[in-house]
Amino acid sequence: MDETALLAAEIAELKKHRNAVVLAHSYQVGDVQDIADFVGDSLGLSREAAATDADVIVFAGVNFMAETAAILNPTKTVLIPDPKAGCSLSDTVSARDVLRWRSEHPNGLVVSYVNTTAEVKALSDICVTSANAVKVVESLDRDRDLLFLPDMFLGEYVKQQTGREMDIWLGECHVHAGIGEQELSDRISSFPDAEFLIHPECGCGSSCLYLKPDAKIFSTEGMVNYAQSSSKKEFVVATEVGIIHRLNKKTYGKRFIPVKESAVCQYMKMNTLEKIRDSLRSNTHVVRVDDDIAAKARRAIDAMLAVV
């Protein structure tokens, strides 16, 4: 038995002993996805975290995701294998920034992407993911000012789809922002017959409107669902490359080409089988959120989860 198989077996035994589950984002390395009890996007992971009856949740993702799981499960133990797994997007906005906007728009609404800290969520009216952002914004009162944060590319996409006037925070994910027009143009030339699946956080999103008008804009989960049902056999995918492993597992006889091979989130890749094993074995690292902040943040998260 090789080292990967040994670690997987050890993790399975620890999960059984502690009544634990491992939740993994689709951007995790393949070995981590393979041992997870659930793999998905932020919305799916949030719903799974809210529904689990496990005593321990090991969150193979980044900090804001583990915080969300802890907020939704105040009586459970939530562990993150590497506490240094941050997020360049969530780092672009702070609670102070939200308070400043609210002081200038006292009747305004704050819509926060889940890629935010618990403190920012606590000051928000509702959270969204890339999977439901359009639907959520469409449901909100158009007579009130609205701030969408923190991703400017997702915000612009939502604005285009809804026709809603809103303030958009100028934040970005460093990985998705680096997937630009040149990379998209190169792939269009190389794979003219392929179907193009684009994440709305990508810097190439607006370019798609004229370079590849038939491209599909999807969340990571939307990409998986579409690829499974499509009759196409070749897809070019614009998001973090970890999704390719999941796409390959969920489909048969189809080819997936990343728009940019180097679109790798170093924070997501901090989670390893060794760290998951150690986290379960030693109960490290426990994710804790201040009770008052958690209660306020939960209202915004619950409002998101209520949008079907």
Q: Are residues 95 and 145 in the same domain?
A: yes
Residue 209: the pLDDT is: 66
> Helix, strand, coil proportions of the chain in percent (round to 5)?
45, 15, 40
Consecutive H or E run containing 278: helix 273-282
- Region of 283 (left: φ > 0; alpha: ψ -120 to 50; beta: rest) is left
Tokens for 281, please give them.
Answer: 């074995």
Tokens for 176, please give them.
Answer: 């998705």
pTM strictly above 0.85:
yes
220 marked among binding-site residues: yes
Does a structural domain hold residue 263?
Answer: no
75 marked among binding-site residues: no
User: In sequence order, what are the beta bridge partners of 112?
Assistant: 127, 149
Q: Are residues 191 and 252 in the same domain?
A: yes
Q: Are residues 12 and 159 in the same domain?
A: no
27 marked among binding-site residues: no
| CB of 148 closer than 8 Å to CB of 158 | yes
Query: For residues 85 and 70, what is the distance between their CA atoms, to the nearest angstrom?
Result: 16
107 marked among binding-site residues: no
| Residues 6 or more apart in contact with residue 6 via CB below 8 angstroms | none
114 marked among binding-site residues: yes
| CB of 75 closer than 8 Å to CB of 274 | no
Query: For residues 164 and 137, what is the distance between their CA atoms, to the nearest angstrom?
Result: 8
Q: Are residues 66 and 16 in the same domain?
A: yes
Q: Are residues 55 and 129 in the same domain?
A: no
Mean per-residue pLDDT pooled into runs of 10, the chain (308 residues): 92 97 97 97 86 95 94 94 96 98 98 96 96 94 97 94 96 93 92 94 76 89 96 96 97 96 97 98 96 97 86
For residue 37, the domain's CATH number is 3.40.50.10800
| Residues 6 or more apart in contact with residue 174 via CB below 8 angstroms | 88, 89
Q: Are residues 141 and 197 in the same domain?
A: no
201 marked among binding-site residues: yes
Q: Are residues 168 and 187 in the same domain?
A: no
Does a structural domain hold residue 191?
Answer: yes
130 marked among binding-site residues: yes
113 marked among binding-site residues: yes
3-state DSSP call for residue 83?
coil
Residue 305: the pLDDT is: 86
Does a structural domain hold residue 137?
Answer: yes
Domain span holding position 41 = 3-87+268-288
127 marked among binding-site residues: no
21 marked among binding-site residues: no
Q: Are residues 149 and 184 in the same domain?
A: no
Tokens 């969150």 sit at which residue? 59
Q: Are residues 182 and 238 in the same domain?
A: yes
200 marked among binding-site residues: yes
Residue 207: the pLDDT is: 67
Tokens 């672009």 sit at which residue? 92
Q: How many domains does the chain have?
A: 3
Q: Are residues 98 and 167 in the same domain?
A: yes
Q: Are residues 78 and 95 in the same domain?
A: no
Tokens 């150690």 sit at which residue? 278
Query: For residues 114 and 220, what is the distance between their CA atoms, to the nearest angstrom?
Result: 14
| Residues 6 or more apart in contact with residue 104 via CB below 8 angstroms | none
